[in-house]
Structure formats: structure tokens, C-alpha cells
Structure 1
Amino acid sequence: MTKRALGAQISHMLKSRGVDVIFGIPGVHNQELYRGIEEAGMTHVLARHEQGAGFMADGYARASGRPGVAYVITGPGLCNIMTPMGQAYSDSVPILVISSCLDETAAIRGQLHQMRDQKAAAATVCDWSEEARTPQAAYGLVDRALTEFHTRRPRSKHIQVPISALGAPADPAPAPVEMGPGPVDQASPLRLEPLREWLRASKRPLFIFGGGAVRHLDTASGDHQWLDMLRGMGAASFTTYAARGLIPEGFPLHFGSYLGRPASADVIASADLVIAVGTELSECDLWRDDLGHKGRLVRIDLDPEVVSDRHAADMQILGGAHGHLVSALIEMQEEPAKTGWAVSEVTSFRAAARSEVDAERPGIVPICDALRAELPDDTMIYSDMTQFAYVANEVWHMPKPGHWHHPTGFGTLGYALPAAVGGAMARRDKPTMAIAGDYGFQYTLQELGAAVELGLPLPILLWDNGKLKEIDDSMISAQIAPKAVVAHNPDFGALARAYGAYATRPADLKELVRDVGQAFKADRPTLIHMTPDML
């Protein structure tokens, strides 16, 4: 039993539970957390801003399937990482933020980094925020967080430890306990029997898959369990943006990720049975208030709040989209295949939806097509809130699920670059790419320094249309004279080179594809400046 400062013991504990990378920024308040990082054999990634550290942890978690962990200081450090915490909460991403906190705040004022209620502030954007005043509490909270990431809907969590406690000697954390296979579902054969009967009677069954259907999928072994089930049932499908790639583009009854198109409501209304798996069916999935279903609706999700929401499901199944539940659904594919869906109606819908997307934001679809045709199939992409990504979310069908990550829900700017840094750290030998707009890129462009420091071969596609174009379009649509939508942009290439990155400005699609290919082979990140006039 080796006594160390509690801060060091926390790092050793995390390492013993599989955490090998920490993202963060050290300060005098949290330096005891840093005492054990190198000793425990972990890698630390120095962000240039705590917001960047949080997005890096998010990107790492999405790429690796393991929790992303960030260390930050009291007060402003915690405040700066709250935006990534809110994004991770919204998108069901397992990130754990560990911060220092002041020993006493009720009777003392004017302390460095003092907040009125730091724990409560963090609690507004994450699953829970707790204070550990003893080693036992710290260890218990860390294990609680890691266990809940594994067994429940994963969402951001925050643990704060008083400065004096971080520096006080402490015994090591208890040995890790082996976790079970994952969430326990309620999909017993008896409970699923009514669903079997509904499928027998259905002529036009429709599945809607969300990110939760991807999370437990064994993509490494090429598991096509959902596709086999759809074929066996003769069912049609939609995917949310997060589930793109789950159903291959060539599947004839797949409507794609066009749920946000108004015409999808008509398709859904024509189904006599809709089964939504691992999706909130939120505003950011549908871009309307109602799903549009007229037949029976079945909800399958880990979150009780989701299955019992305003869409008023006829059957609620609380559980993960894996294991027993998937096996039971696959068994149901033995029912006679339905013939109510026609390939022609799917083809017609997809063509019309794609044309709508191209008409709404002209010029982006051809760029998406050119890039998609040339990128390696295992490329992982992180996008920001930019029109380029809004188009790509609908028309860019992924060859693999879980390989495009977008800040859905909370919808923060500045996500793509730092998240891609975290993702690249999780998969150093595989291609990773970032896509950002000219305005949002400037929220976190300083993380170019981290990417250069790490030697990441990261293409950063910068879509520069010279303004906040989405807001400009929205104001015009609302008959508001566009205001505050144009900002002076820097010389992005010069800025990237100042950080030590490479920079290019392709003149056409051929040069764009060439530059991206070279960026994947480079010894550092490459900023690729795209403008509408390249077409």
C-alpha cells in the first residue's frame, strides 16, 4: 500500500480502470492531479483552452468507445468546459470532468477562482455534479461514473475535489471490479410477444434507427444484424444523422437520413408499424413537432424519458439496442416478409430529398460527392455547425456507422477541430478529418497548436462562405434585413502556418481531393481552405 497525494491516486485509479489519455490544462489549484499522470503511464494532451479540452475528451470518447477524461481548475476552468459538457450530455457521450474546488466558500470572499456555487453551475449541463471531500468519496464517485457510462445512457459527469484534499496523503483506490456486459434490458420473450403479433399483421413496417442502435454494434466484425433483420422482415428504414452507415446505401428499402425533410412525415404516416430504436426523435432529428405516424409506434431506448415522451408510443421497451433485444428482433425476421413497400417509392423519395438539399444550399452537394468518393472507408469525420455539414448530414452516406460525429442537440460552434484532435488520439493509425465553417472555426482555432504539437496528420476542411450564411438565410426568410452576419476573416492559411500547420487553398474539386489525400500522409495537420468559387 503506497500513500500518495489524493490527486495522484486519482490518476492511478483511472489508469487501472482503462483510462490512458487525459485532456486538460494544469493550474495551481489542480496540479496535484498532474502528479500521478506520468507515473501512472498515461498520456496528457495540453489543450489551449478548457473548451478545447472538453471537446477533445468528447471526440476521444466517440472514437474509442471509452470515456473521455478532462482535468480543469476551479472557477473559470470549470466554466470554460461547461459548453463541451452540455454537448456531451445532449449527444450521450461519456466524458468525465474532474476539477479542483475551493475548501471553503461560505465564510470567505475574494479567493482566487471563487464562484458562488461551482458544483451547482456544472450540474446544469451534465448528468450529475458531486463534490468528493475524502479519498473514499472520490474513488466511489469515479467508479460510479464509469459504471453508469457502461450500464446507462452515457452522459457527461463532473467531480470536484477540494484543493487541500487533492494534496493530502491517501491510500490507493480499491482494485477495479470487472463490469458486466452492459445495460440490462426489459425485452423478455413474453414482453415482446405483442410486438411479434404486430409484425405478423404489418404490411408496411418501418424502422427508425438512431445513434443508440450504433453504440453496441460490433462494427469491427462487420456485424450486419440490423440489415439482416430488415431483409427478413421486408421492412423499410430511416436513420438519424448519428446512425448514418448503419444501413448500407445499396439497401433498396432505405430512405436514408432524410428524417428532417417534410416529406418524411408522409412516408411515416403510410407505415402501419413504426419501430424507433435508440433515438430521441427530437427536434434536431425531425425539424418538426410531430413524427407523423398514424400506425402503431414502438420505442426502444435506454432512457425512460425517451420511451415515454410526447410521441406517445404504443409500446415502450426500456433497454439497450443489443444482446437479448436484438436477438429477439432477429428471430422475428422469420415472419413472412412484407411486400407493402415499393423500391420505386424509396428511390423517388431519396431523389427528391437530395434535390431539395441541393436547392436550399447550392454548391455543397458536388463537393460532398467528390470527397466521399475518394476518402478511405474508415475515415472518421468531425463536423462543426456549418452549412457544409448540414448538407453532408443528409446526402453523405457513410460506409461505416459511428464514423461521422456532429454537435447535434446542444449545437455548439467550435466543436470540430478539438473533437477531431481527440478522435485522432484514439485512432492514431487511422484517418481522421475535421470540417468547420469560417466563423465557428475561430472559436477553437487555437487547438491547431495542440494538433501540431501531437504531430497529427489531420485534414481540416474549412468551408469559407464569408459570412454566417445560415443566419443570413434565416433572417432573409423571416423578412429581417441581415444584420451582424458578416465578420472580417483572417488569412486562414497564414494563421495555420503561424501555428506550424500546413495550409492549402484548392482551386477546384480535383485539387481538393488531392490535398485531402496528401494531408492524411502528412506529419502534422493541414488546413484546407474551401470557398464556393472552387466549383
Structure 2
Amino acid sequence: MSKTGGQLLADGLVRNGIEDLFMIPGIQLDWAVDALRQRSGDISLYVPRHEQSTTYMADGYYRASGRVGVAMVVPGPGALNAGAGLATAYAANSRVLFLTAQIHSQGVGKGYGLLHEIKDQPGYLAGLSKWSRHVGGPEEIAAAVDQAFDRLHTGRPRPVALEIPHDYLSASVNDAPPAAAAGQPGAGAPAAIDEAALARAAALLDGARLPVIYVGGGIFHSDACPALQALAERIGAPVVMSDNGRGALSDRHPLAMSSLAGRAVFGHADVVLVVGSRFIDSLTPTASWPAQPELRYIYINIDEADLSAPRKPDVALAADAAVALPMLAERLKPRRAMAEADALRVKDWARRQIDVVMPQSAYVDALRAAMPDDAIFVNELTQVGYLARVAFPVYGPRTYIGPGYQGTLGYGFPTALGAAVAAGGRRVVSITGDGGFGWNLQELATAQRYGLPVTLVVFNDGHYGNVRAIQKREFGAEVAVELANPDFGLLARAFGVAFEKVDTPQALGGAVQASMSAAGPVMIEVGIGVVPSPWHLLRLQPMKGASGPAAPADPLAGVYS
């Protein structure tokens, strides 16, 4: 029995457990799309209004659920349009399968000017994925799909990409079991854990006056959060969570710390255990906290590249956190390194600094109070969103989504749509500024078409607010930051989306709370003016040039000296 290459592709997705796919059809994908139509009982198709949104949605889908997100577009401009979302998925370590067609196999690399041809699409895909493959014939499609999923689940989570010439999708081949496929080697799993290194790490932690755990987004990919909590509680070590690590430990836990609170505990730490984090400053190629003679570092990361310079580990373990953390915990002596009263004092120290940044802190508090614990919050690059990185309490894994190191303006709303598809009916709250919303405002159509439970909050100041603030601070003047916005109420109603406009934190809280029982999308506009900068509170070390009120006195002074 023969099948088309498109049918083999669809079969491979179903065989590997894919239930949802984000795509925009086009002529080079016709045979694949028809094959997916034939498998409509197995795979649901979500078609946004811009190719950029396919990869953003796939990224949000993975980050909300831990299940592979799949995006598919035409070659050339389709693949290029999807690049921003793919780059964000790469930065956020998301398991995303990116499928793109290619021009006719006989024209690849020839420069004939075929429809959607670009000079080096394979090179482009290689730069935005941890592994990519150009399928060399229709008989390779089934095996290539299986190989892609193997790469997705091996080593560090990151996107993988497949490109298939469109004539291979329409060709008929024998429907045989997939053969072992040759291709680029994937990132292998770490070798067996070094027992001697584990022993050295345990000795350092047991001998520490104040051990501190710093955790990044890598903690989520193997569901290692319970192991993290068990280790932290065994020795009473505070857990400082990076932006990507928010939710690894519930913020209700006394030992859970934001990066702002982390400044206080890092200032007194003598041993730091870094788990699943790059631990790199976002603007300079230096470690997130400077090396100090008395400070020792232990690193656990599945990617050996994140154990190397400019980091200076005393002990480095290339390992999956879910495997390494329990093995390390059982070697540690139970104790309470940080008293609960001290931990709560640090958290209060951080909170007092947040409360000064008004009105952003009031808006963040209103959002949190209006949302159930398990609702998903998608943060954006907006003035309220920056403060939310340290001010928004997170109570569970995969309920907070940020932009990762790409810092891709406008990513939030389409990412929230993908998260909503994966979330099983839970509400997703997406905040954005009027500037970032302009990137993907057309996706109101997608939210409405599929009845997605997304509450979109647009903070409208009529400007690229953060750029404006930096220009005023650095140069005393502003340029190219004013926006010409639509009437957001008319825009929402044009797409059939429920809308409300508010201008106070209290009103926002009421509108968000009411949206929790809505059947589909809701848009809320918040009028906001010039607000104070929150940048002096972000990250373990404040950004150079960022200034604000002086921090309160060291909450641990004299306690851990």
C-alpha cells in the first residue's frame, strides 16, 4: 500500500503523540494539509492570522503543559516570519517541532527564483534550532519525523526543525515501517553522574554557613520541582528563582525567593547551588553574581556548555536535575540553615522595595488577587510587566511564562493563545503594552475563532514606554516613541471580543476577576501615564545606570557573618 509524503508526515505526528498543531496553509504544504484533514480525528489544527504566531503558540503550548508544540509554515517568507517565535522558543528551552516546506527538490540551492525561495534556508533553520534536517527524499519522511522527536527528548530541551521539499510531500511511496535515519547527531544524554563530584558537592553544602540554591527554567523540563523542594527543605536553604524559574517553588513557601530577595541572601551565602540555569547576566558575558574568594559554586545542568566560563564552578555536574537532586539530597545532613523568621524577613525586605514602585505594584497585586492559583500568567515587556518579574507571586510550575533572554516585544499575546490551547480550560491572563500589542493585535481573530479562555490586558500609555523612559534618563529627550493607536474598544468589538476599559488597579482587579467566568476571550484596556522605573529592582545585580530609592537596611546583617 502506498501513501503520499504528506500522509507519512501526518502519520508520524500522530505516532509521536501530537494532538494539536499550529499552522498556516500554503501551496507548498497542500499535500501535508490534506493529509492532516484526513487525520482530523487525531490532530486539531489551529490557524492564526500571522505565521509569526504559529511558533509563538507552539512555544506557549509547551511551556504551559510540557507537551511538544508543533508549528508548520511554507518555506521562505513563511519560515522567516516564524523566526521570532522560534528564536524565543530556543531562548526559553522549549520543545518545539518546527516543520517547514521547501521549494522543489531540484531547485534547492540553485537560485532559480522559485516561489518562496531563499538562499540558505537550511542554514537559517540550523541557527534557530538545536538540530535540523533537510529531508532528502519522500521515503525518508517517516524516519525523519521519528528522529526529530528523538532529538526533542534527548539532552537539553530546545526546538528542532524539519524541512521537506514540496514535491516529496506529494510523491507516493510504499507505506513501510520507518527505517533508522541518518542525520546530524543529537545532543546526547549526560553520562552517568560522577559519584565523586556528588560527594564533593554534598561536603560543600554540609559545611556551608548559609547555602543558597539558585534555580532556572531547566528545573521544569524533567519535572524536578518536587526534588528541588525536598532538597531545600532537608537543609533549610533559600531557593532563589530566576525569571525563567518562577514557580519552581511556590512563593507561599518561606524558602522561596525572587531574584530581588536573592540579593540579600547572596550577600551572605558561602555556597551556591545553581540548578538548571545559564547563570549569566543579561547584558554582559559575566556570571549573574560575581565570583568572590569566600563563595563556592556547585552547578547542575544537563548542558555542559552551561558549566563553563565565564562561570567558575567548584563542582560541576552534567546531569538531569530530576536525577541529580535526589541523589544529592540523600547525601546531605538534615538541618535548618536559614531560620524561617530570617527567610520571612528577607521576603518582607524585598516586598517593601516593590511597594514603593507605584502604580505598577498595585496593578500587579490586583492581577494576582483576581486570578486563581492555577491560572497561567503570561508576562510581557511592559512597565507593569517588568515589575511583575519580581512582584507577581507564582504558586506552581508552568503558571508563569516570560519572554526568556530574547526579550521579544509582542510575543506575549500569541504565546498566551498557545498556552490556552494546552491549559485544559484554565484561564490565561496575558498582559502587554500598547506598543507590544501592535505586533499581533490581529490575533484577536484567533482568540475569538477558537473561543480561547484568554484575558488580554493592554496597558495603554500611547508610547513605547520603556524606550521613552530610557531616552529621557540617558539623553533628556525622546524621539520615535509616540504611537498612533486604534480605538481598542472598537477593535475588540470588530473581532467580537468582549471589552472593558478601566483606569485604576481596583477596577482592573474587578474586570479580571469577572473574566475568569467568561466563555471565551476578554480584552481589558488600562489607561496609564508615565510611571517610575522598576529596573533597579530587577535581577540579582541591578543594571548599570538603573537607579531608584535606596534599599532598606540589610535584613540579615549580623546573622550569618
Tell whether the structures are fold-level matches, with TM greater than 0.5. Answer: yes
- Name the SS of the counterpart of 1:170 in structure 2: strand
- Report the secondary structure of 1:485's partner residue: coil
Query: Do the aligned partners of residues 426 and 226 (structure 1) sit closer, same or farther apart at CA in structure 2, a change above 3 Å counting?
Result: same
Distance 1:331 1:23 in 2: 43
- TM superposition shift of 1:287: 10
Measure how far apart 1:408 and its partner are. 1.4
Return the alpha-carbon distance in structure 2 between the equivalents of residues 285 and 329 of structure 1: 32
Shift of 1:321: 1.0
Asked if 2 retains the 8 angstrom alpha-carbon contact of 1:8 and 1:34, the reply is no
- 1:292 equivalent in structure 2: 290
* Aligned equivalents of 2:452, 2:334: Cα separation in 1: 51
TM-score computed with the length of structure 2 as normaliser = 0.86
Distance 1:286 1:276 in 2: 19
Contact preservation (8 Å) 1:457, 1:521: no
Query: Compared with structure 1, are the counterparts of its residues 479 and 352 closer, same or farther at alpha carbon in structure 2 (3 Å cutoff)?
Result: farther
1:353 lines up with 2:355 in the alignment:
no
Cα shift readout 1:298-337 (whole Å, capped 9, x = no counterpart):
11011111011311111110111103x122122134x142
Change over 3 Å in CA distance of 1:501–1:53 after alignment to 2: same
| Cα distance, 1:417 vs structure 2 | 1.3
In structure 2, the partner of 1:277 is 275
Quick one: which amino acid aligns to residue 258 of structure 1?
L
1:185–1:320 Cα contact (<8 Å) kept:
no
Tell me whether 1:126 sits opposite 2:122 in the alignment. Answer: no
> Aligned partner of 2:489: which letter?
G
How far apart are the structure 2 equivalents of 1:421 and 1:117? 31
Matched ranges for 1:85-484 at <5 A = 85-103=86-104, 104-172=107-175, 174=177, 183=189, 186-217=192-223, 224-258=226-260, 264=262, 267-284=265-282, 290-294=288-292, 295-323=295-323, 325-333=324-332, 335-339=333-337, 341=338, 346-359=343-356, 362-484=358-480
> What is aligned with 2:6?
7
Hey, what's the Cα distance between the residues in 2 that align with 1:349 and 1:465? 34
Structure 1: stretches of 5+ with no match in the other structure: none
Q: Per-residue CA shift, 1:435-491, capped at 9, x if unaligned? A: 111110110111111111101121111111221111112112222521111111111
Q: Kindly state the Cα deviation for residue 35 of structure 1 after the two structures are TM-superposed.
A: 1.6
Structure 2 match to 1:525:
521
Separation in 2 of the partners of 1:393 and 1:480?
Answer: 27
Partner of 2:144: helix, strand, or coil?
helix
Give distance in 2, aligned partners of 1:253 and 1:10: 47
Change over 3 Å in CA distance of 1:380–1:203 after alignment to 2: same
Separation (CA, whole Å) in 1 of partners of 2:476 and 2:346:
33
Distance in 1, Cα, partners of 2:250 & 2:498: 35
Question: How far 1:416 moved relative to its partner?
Answer: 1.3
Question: How far is 1:252 from its partner?
Answer: 3.2
Give the superposed CA RMSD.
Answer: 2.5
Unaligned runs of 5+ in 2: 181-187, 532-561
Contact in 2 for aligned 1:204/1:338 (Cα 8 Å): no
Quick check: 1:209–1:243 contact (8 Å CA) kept in 2? Answer: yes
- 1:520 and 1:253 map into 2 onto residues whose CA distance is 30
Q: Is the alpha carbon distance of 1:534 and 1:286 closer, same or farther for their aligned partners in structure 2, counting shifts above 3 Å?
A: closer
**Residues 197 and 316, structure 2, Cα contact 8 Å, conserved in 1:** no
Instruction: Kindly indicate whether the alpha-carbon contact (under 8 Å) linking 2:364 and 2:392 is maintained by their aligned counterparts in 1.
Output: yes
Q: Judge conservation of contact 2:101–2:165 (CA < 8 Å) in 1.
A: yes
- The aligned counterpart of 2:33 is 34
Q: Is the Cα contact below 8 Å between 2:8 and 2:141 reproduced in 1? A: no
% same residue: 28
Q: Aligned to 2:404, what secondary structure does the other structure show?
A: coil
Deviations 1:32-83 (A, max 9, x none): 1112113222111011111011101111111221111111101100110011
Name the SS for the 1:242 alignment partner: coil
Does residue 512 of structure 1 match 2:513? no
- What is the distance in 2 between the residues matched to 1:342 and 1:173? 63
